[in-house]
Amino acid sequence: MLGIGFIAAVATSIGLPTPARAEEERAPTLESVMQALARSGGVEAHFRESRQLTILSEPINSSGILYFLPPDWLARHVTEPGAAKVIVRDDRVSFQDETGIQTLELGSSEVARAMVGNVIVLMRGDLDALRRQYDVAFSASGDLWTLDLEPRDRVVRQLIERLEVNGSDNRLVRMATIETSGDVTLTEFADVKVGVEFSPEAREAIFSIRTTAPLESSTASNSSPATESNPEASAPSPAAKP
């Protein structure tokens, strides 16, 4: 009987895909991952976030839905433990909760631009911007990949030590932000939909701050403005491409 080593040697000599070679060929590269993210288009994803502060014994937990509309619109709708919105449109970020609304021009703060921009840069697959903002280390196994990102900007480095991003194919799975203070924010993504097309009505509902009515608390409603589980919602649901 021929040994496994002999068969592998013959396969290698004639160019057949040995298990090791096939695994190597399947493993994504940084370039292929960013290209896949760039082709993803609109994104909708549920998230659960845990923020562990060094001054607290228990983490601060939240959950909700994240929306992305290329090239640079981002909406984070928090549903638990209380209703809140963070809306990024162009170079402005707006925050709304039960206490009111705050708006910040991203150009006025390097740190704010970095904190908001890292998700946008990843979701739109902008490799050039990623390399300008971070020292990038990439590793992969099969469809799973990991990015270790260290800020290049001196001001940002004073607050953020590094980011660790895990993904599968063209979907983000997990993002950890490690701050120089020792605080750690872990965000996990689930039910990630790509190729989402937002109607004009859905864009207005999802990516806008409404000042005419207060936000509903999570005890009154756990639904985002666009949800497949409620076809009678006031705002049309974005539809994912097949």
Residue 223 lies in a domain: no
Q: Is pLDDT of 110 > 60?
A: yes
Q: Is pLDDT of 8 > 50?
A: no
Give the count of domains, the chain. 1
Q: Is pLDDT of 209 > 50?
A: yes
End-to-end CA distance of the chain: 49
Residue with tokens 């207060």: 214
Contact present, 175 and 163 (Cβ < 8 Å)? yes
Sequence-distant (6+) residues with CB within 8 A of 237 are 202, 226, 227, 228, 231
- Stated pTM of the model: 0.77
Q: How confident is the model at residue 213 (pLDDT cuts 50, 70, 90)?
A: low
Q: In the chain, what are the helix, strand and coil shares in percent, each to the nearest 5? A: 25, 40, 35
Residue 7 lies in a domain: no
Name the residue with higher pLDDT: 24 or 210. Answer: 210
Q: What digits encode the pLDDT tens for the residues 35-88?
A: 999 999 999 999 999 999 999 999 999 999 999 999 999 999 999 999 999 999
Q: What is the distance between the alpha carbons of residues 34 and 125, in angstroms, rounded to a whole number?
A: 4
Residue 184 lies in a domain: yes
Residue 10 lies in a domain: no
Name the residue with higher pLDDT: 190 or 239. Answer: 190
pLDDT at 22: 47
Residue with tokens 């549903």: 79
pLDDT at 146: 98
Average pLDDT, the chain: 82
Q: What digits encode the pLDDT tens for the residues 137-182?
A: 999 998 899 999 999 989 889 999 999 999 999 999 999 999 999 9
Q: What percent of the chain has pLDDT over 70?
A: 76
Residues forming a β-bridge with 84: 78
Sequence-distant (6+) residues with CB within 8 A of 41 are 70, 194, 195, 196, 197, 241
Residue 224 lies in a domain: no
Residue 157 lies in a domain: yes
pLDDT at 216: 54
CATH number for the domain spanning 111: value is 2.50.20.10
Contact present, 235 and 198 (Cβ < 8 Å)? no
Residue 179 lies in a domain: yes
CA distances from 53 to 10, 49, 177, 180, 187 (A): 56, 13, 12, 12, 14
Residue 236 lies in a domain: no
Number of residues assigned to the chain: 242
Q: What digits encode the pLDDT tens for the residues 82-106?
A: 999 999 998 889 999 999 999 988 7
* Cis, bond preceding 71 (omega within 30 deg of 0): yes
Range of the domain at 83: 25-212
pLDDT at 18: 47
